Amino acid sequence: MDRYFKQFDNCLQKELPYCGSDCPFRMNVNDFMDKLSRKRYNAAYKVFRDAVTFPGIVAELCPEYCAGSCPRKELGGAVKINMLEKSCIAKTKRRDPNDYNLPKKNGNIAIIGAGVSGLACALRLASKKYTVTVFEKAAEIGGMLHDLMPKEQFMEEFDLQFKFEEYTLNLNTEITDLNQLAEQGFGAVYIATGKDGNGFGLLEMEEPAAEISGMAVFAGGSLAGKDIINAIADGIDFARAIEIYFMTNKIAAPEPRPVSKIQTEIRRIPAQPAPEASEDGLFSEEEILTEVDRCLRCQCDNCRYYCDLTEYLNKWPLKMRDDIMTSTMAADSLVHKTPAIKLINACTQCGLCEETCPGNIQLGGMIKEAKKRLHNLDRQPGPYHQFWVRDAQFANGPFAELTRKAPGHDTCTYAFFPGCHLGAADPDYVKKSYEWLLSVHPDTALMLQCCGLPVDWSGNEAAHAEEIDIIRDKWQQLGKPVLIMACASCMKHFREYLPEIQMVTIYELMEQHGMQPAVKDETVYSVFDPCSARHEDDMRDSVRVLLARAGAGLEELPDAEKHGCCGYGGNIKEANPGMAKLTAEKRSKMSDNPYIVYCINCRDVFFDEGKPVKHILDLMLDIGDGDEPDRLPTVTEQRYNRVALKERLLADIWGETMENKPELTYDLVVSEEVRDKMNRLRILEEDICYTLEAGEKYGRITYVPDTDSYKCYREIGYITCWVEYRPAGEAYEILNLYTHRMKIELEAVFNGRKTETDLR
């Protein structure tokens, strides 16, 4: 966890935009723009003033250092920040500075030179309530400003900004010896005597900061060769250096202002010129808004752009990191908050975050680690992953699992690992694939089971390690064959946890063996590559070749390599149905073309979204004999499909009869409506029977006279299932069902009677 936490040092979210980085004052331009965009001129003015000290002077004289780096430069011209500043000042009604009621601070400072740099330093220190005395050899203040702008204008600005601050001004006083100041009891001195002024030897030193006669002495501004704007910035910086001196006794020139490390992606922005200023050379309100709108608010936002989770939660990863850390604090910590449980269980683990983050922050990795911690701390809500973990157990159980060498072969070069969901969707996908594989590589073994990914997604590390060990053992017993994969998710999972296994996809083999698709199809498709195949170039290419062989057209999706998950990943549907829906919708809308997929989970997601979609194997093997399914198999039917697949494979390939088949305790009469609801709640017919059994076993049945029906319930793992039913002869007619996550805590003794409390 600490490793992931540390990665966030690279986060560029709070970096200044390019313009801010080039600004001598490092002004927060995005903040300034945001305030202007809401017509909050007073607030925008404050941002400007806080950065530059004398907005009236800086707006007049600034040569716009920022314009050089503005990405808008080539797209209609750099944003006219200077004009916005001037227009903002004109529109600001309350320009008075803040009058802070602070206690006086110890610290007596002399400033030599009442030019704009010295005065900027004086204002900053005076506003912090230090005692400030300014010495000016001339008869008036302003220094080189006299050559650059009308005197009334800058004097007005000085009067305004110093309105609430006190400082002593000694005109016609030339300081020739710093000892003069030491004798007067000054603790620090800022020398800002202007161009060609007296530097008292400081500029020849290693840095313009030294201890002289017991005082901390600094020098900067035009004296150090700076232009007028940088001289003001120097005044502000040295004020800070003087403050640091008083607080820590450390004498050092200010650190150079940081250069922003910002990186942004400029994404399809139309060129647009700046508006002409129409109000006495300034922008009107409307023009301000147009210009502010032209500003791209440069900020590293790859995570917000690419990651669906940041969009869904409307949160930046830095905030997510803090919530995750809080939620996964050790059990003995004093923090007992878990604000990120849903967040952690809403990540699809598509891995796009780390691939698009310039700082290589592995947010997805952090979330995965957090899930494991939640599980170990017993904070992971049990219902979130229960269905899929049980489903994986079924796929690996006696009714569905099948590991066999090819008939008549004692060794194998290849073993087909179709994944558990392909056969659940339709047994033909696996059966026909395996039959074809046997025709080209007759010694191909079969490993029919779940790869363990749902257990990994649940955060249960120990159970997952067991699953992986079992798979490794089986693979070793088969003689370490090359696995032929049909599912990119299984493949990515094995690459991570079983790197010793060599893999190839069935699509590559189909391509290499020149297999011709069973169905010709001239439709123009877009291939939707599953996020888990992002780096499986061979697999991606083969699917496209196969599609072309079918005679179909191909229009690639925009940003084909930079899209997230279809919404299936992470099994987030239970924890965060909204997030699953958002991703499914977004991915469905990437193109109007029907999709070709090669992950059966993507197929199911898009099918549910109403997006026309086909699996590439539909074309290759003519699944369903050309008929499009009108609905997907329910969760119960998926299990039956797995059993049917095993049974048919045993019978047709190995000539064996499957004896051991699952049977329901009761005959159920289920309407279409109830069937759909069961599917939605991921409740199996088996679960319904299990619940009905409890009714009988514990006598916990309620009669509902309104509908002449009965209700009973039972805990199925972490959820409680309620069933409303009516006996129909030997069978049970199921009328309704619903589930909750809370546990009913029955009393051990109720009304003086001992009761059965464990209803599992």
Partner 1 sequence: MAEKLKLICDKCKVEMQEIEANFSYLDRTFRHKVNRCPQCGQICLDEELVTGRMSEVESKMEDK
Chain contacts with partner 1 (rule: CB under 8 A): 337-342, 379, 381, 575, 699-706, 710-711, 713, 722, 736, 738-747, 750-751, 753, 755
Question: Which residues share a beta bridge with 215?
Answer: 212
> Which one-letter amino acid corresponds to residue 336?
H
Helix, strand or coil, per DSSP, at residue 112 = strand
Q: How far is the CB of 310 from partner 1 (least distance, A)?
A: 17
In the complex, least distance from residue 680 CB atom to partner 1, rounded to whole angstroms: 12
Give the DSSP letter string of 521-574: ---EEEEE--GGGTT-HHHHHHHHHHHHHTT-EE-PPTTTTS----S-GGG-TT
Rounded CA Rg of the chain: 36
- How near is the Cβ of 750 to partner 1 at its closest, in Å? 3
Smallest separation (angstroms) from partner 1 to the CB of 464: 22
At 593, list the tokens.
């073309």
Minimal distance, residue 724 CB to partner 1, in Å: 8
Q: Least CB distance from residue 692 to partner 1, whole Å? A: 13
Smallest distance, Å, CB 748 to partner 1? Answer: 10
Of the two residues 490 and 723, which places its CB atom closer to partner 1 in the complex? 723
Nearest to 400 by CA among 646, 680, 177: 646
Nearer to partner 1, 323 or 428 (CB): 323
Query: Least distance in Å: CB of 722 to partner 1?
Result: 7
Provide the token pair at 464: 């997952």
Structure tokens given for 434: 């395996």
Q: Which lies closer to partner 1 via its Cβ, residue 280 or residue 745? A: 745
Q: Which is nearer to partner 1, 54 or 710 (CB)?
A: 710
Least distance between partner 1 and beta carbon 751 (Å)? 6
Q: Could you tell me the smallest distance in angstroms from the CB atom of residue 738 to partner 1?
A: 5
Burial class (CB in 10 A: 0-12, 13-18, 19+), 684: buried
Nearer to partner 1, 699 or 729 (CB): 699
Shortest gap between Cβ of 61 and partner 1 (angstroms)? Answer: 52
Closer to partner 1 at the Cβ: 271 or 742? 742
Give the sign of the dihedral formed by CA 551, CA 553, CA 557, CA 558.
positive
Comparing CB distances to partner 1, the nearer of 3 and 697 is 697
The least CB distance from residue 715 to partner 1, in Å, is 12
The CA–CA distances, whole Å, from 590 to 249, 564, 606, 614, 659 equal 61, 11, 12, 16, 47
Residue 316 tokens, joined: 């930046």
CA distance 18 to 298: 7
- Residue 367 φ then ψ, to 5°: -65, -40
Phi, psi (degrees; rounded to nearest 5) at 694: -60, -40
- DSSP code of residue 115: B
Q: Which is nearer to partner 1, 90 or 759 (CB)?
A: 759
Cβ neighbours of residue 150 under 8 Å, at least 6 residues apart?
A: none
Half-sphere exposure of 585 (CA within 13 A, CB side): 8
Q: Which is nearer to partner 1, 71 or 382 (CB)?
A: 382
The three state secondary structure string of 427-467 is HHHHHHHHHHHHHHCCCCEEEECCCCHHHHHHCCHHHHHHH
Question: ∠ CA(612), CA(616), CA(619), 5° rounding?
Answer: 90
Question: Of 376, 379, 346, nearest to 465 (Cα)?
Answer: 376
For the bound state, the minimum distance from the C-beta of residue 703 to partner 1, rounded and expressed in Å, comes to: 4
Q: Which CB sits closer to partner 1, 269 or 744?
A: 744
Q: How far apart are CA 328 and CA 698, in angstroms?
A: 39
Nearer to partner 1, 302 or 460 (CB): 460
Backbone angles phi, psi at 693, to 5 degrees: -55, -40
| Minimal distance, residue 740 CB to partner 1, in Å | 5
Residue placing its CB nearer to partner 1 in the complex, 180 or 736: 736
Cβ proximity to partner 1: between 534 and 711 the closer is: 711
CB closer to partner 1, 205 vs 701: 701
Closest to partner 1 by CB, 342 vs 648, is 342
- The least distance separating partner 1 from the CB of residue 575, rounded to whole angstroms, comes to 8
- Phi, psi angle pair for 401, to nearest 5°: -75, 140
Q: How far is the CB of 336 from partner 1 (least distance, A)?
A: 9
Both tokens assigned to 68? 């050089």
Closer residue to partner 1 (CB): 88 or 340 = 340
Nearby residues of 3 by Cβ (< 8 Å), 6 or more positions away: none
Supply the DSSP symbol for 89: H
Q: How far is the CB of 570 from partner 1 (least distance, A)?
A: 16
Indicate if the alpha-carbon torsion angle 525, 418, 566, 318 is positive or negative.
negative
For strand 482-485 and strand 414-417, is the pairing parallel, antiparallel, or unpaired? parallel
DSSP string, 193-249: --TT---TTGGGSSSSEEEETTEEEEE-GGGGT--HHHHHHHHHHHHHHHHHHHHH-
Distance, CA of 419 to CA of 603 (rounded, Å): 14
Contacts of the segment 19-22: beta carbons below 8 A, 24+ positions apart: 19/66, 19/67, 19/69, 19/70, 19/79, 19/81, 19/298, 20/66, 20/260, 21/69, 21/259, 21/260, 21/262, 22/65, 22/66, 22/68, 22/69
| CB nearer to partner 1: pick between 495 and 700 | 700
